[in-house]
Structure 1
């Protein structure tokens, strides 16, 4: 049986210009096509990865109690790439809503103008089987979400010579004693 690959995601929005600009900035993408009803954005070889559908009537912003897709995730090759994107976005005034040391990934969650989350992450294991093994282990079972971390502190530690293994271990994030990240993921400030 054939296995499909991910092609694109479409967001319905009443603020297409703000969403277009945000996704182009966050993904370092560009507009392929745009008219009054549709915008197509890509950041790689695909003709479009993000589409924005602008219906004629006004839409309400997604509420934390809305049943909907929670987030789309994008993976970087390594921690330095993830931190480079963090710096690029920080310098454009785009800050992560929350950063989480999931254990299996190190993740930064951003919110678009409509309230949708976009996860920028790295895999902390070289092989999927190792990640699956970690997810079946005691550390993950004790806290499947993981602790929050401060991306600026992580950046400074990396620039000071901290290793990727040290910074992606949950123990490093736990030392900061930040609030539980689930509140932000569920829509609380």
Structure 2
């Protein structure tokens, strides 16, 4: 994808962890995540973390904790929704606030971006709404997204289903 401007990457269950909340100081990326992020950099593709983190609104972590973590991982920028699902914000995936903010801040055409995540009902719906390439990884909640939760995003097909972040990135670069 030579016109690919950026890749949005979900955190929990995609970069590492279990799909459940883990504080940034205790969060461990999967063994292949650094290689995947380095591969995007080597190909001149910007990387943006895009994550719902409602525990911030509960005071269990700060936006700064996450920003520091993503900077340490080598992301170009990070977009973080700190709100709970009942707060009615515009940023919580599948809402498009974070993607729109990234597009404005970095001059992106969102149809020339990709989204890699493990949750169909948030990551894939958000990506679909802006015309981004949708890649579902099977780590984290990925398997469940394709089976018991498939009804929550039944009208959408991912562009690619990858074993993990590294396979997703390799597929993207080969397109």
What TM-score does the superposition give when structure 1 sets the normalisation length? 0.29
What TM-score does the superposition give when structure 2 sets the normalisation length? 0.30
Q: Which has the higher contact order (CA 8 A, sep 6+)?
A: 2
Larger Rg: 1
Q: Which has the higher strand share?
A: 1
Q: Which has the higher helix share?
A: 2
